[in-house]
Structure formats: C-alpha cells, structure tokens
Amino acid sequence: MTNKEIVTEFIDKVFNAWDLTDLNKYMREDYMQHSPEVKDGREGFREFAAGFFKAKPHMHVFKMAEDGDMVFVFFKCTFGDNEKSAAKVCDIYRLQDGLLAEHWDVVMNIDPNDPGASGRGHF
C-alpha cells in the first residue's frame, strides 16, 4: 500500500466509521501530535477521538497528495446531519514503516452559507 492509500483507509475506517478497533494497524504507539488539543501517542489520539466521535464527524475529502513520507489531505468536516456546522481542514501526516508517525493540521470553522468575497465558497 502507498502512504496515500494508508491515509485514505485510516480516514474511512477510523474517522468516518468512528471505529478505533484497528488503530494499531494505522498508527505508531509513539505517534507525535502537533494539534494542541490532542495528546501524543496512540492512546492520546484514542482519548481525543472518543470525545470527537460524539459529534458524529464526517470527512468529505476534496484533495489528497503524497510527497515521500508525507500525505496532505484537504477536506470538509461536517458534524451529524448539520451541514451548517462544518470546518475546512488540511491534515498533514508523516508516515514511518507504513504507520502514521506524526500529524499537523490547519482548521477553519466555516459558514457554508457564506460564499466569501469571490462568490465561489470554501470548496
């Protein structure tokens, strides 16, 4: 599997299915987290996800790119059936030996009804 395929499967199986059962398959135990609200390590992610999944997030991926050991994912994250509660996100993952080793993100809460100055919207 390519790094991009690993991240795609991780998003589908963990984030979109809200399933932490196979987290060991995707993430190193010493996973480094650069999001201030999430602790380092696989267990730190598990703790964050248990709370995050209560909001019923869904990631609608628009673009994904791979550059060596790095994978970049641009997506819209919605919560439950509420399209009005959404965020525009860019996640960056570094993989090592086929497992997620490090993560950065840029998150922007959005109003999907606001097309912005260009009129094209956020996506």
3-state helix, strand, coil in the chain (%, to 5): 25, 45, 30
Instruction: Please name every residue paired with 108 in a beta bridge, in sequence order, or none if there are none.
Output: 88
- The segments of the chain whose pLDDT lies below 50 read none
Q: Which domain holds residue 15?
A: 3-110
Q: What is the pLDDT of residues 51-81, one digit of tens each?
A: 999 999 999 999 999 999 999 999 999 988 7
Tell me whether residue 123 is in a domain.
no
120 in any annotated domain: no
Alpha helices, H only, 36-75? 41-52
| CATH code of 32's domain | 3.10.450.50
Q: How many domains would you assign to the chain?
A: 1
Q: Residue 33 has what pLDDT? A: 95
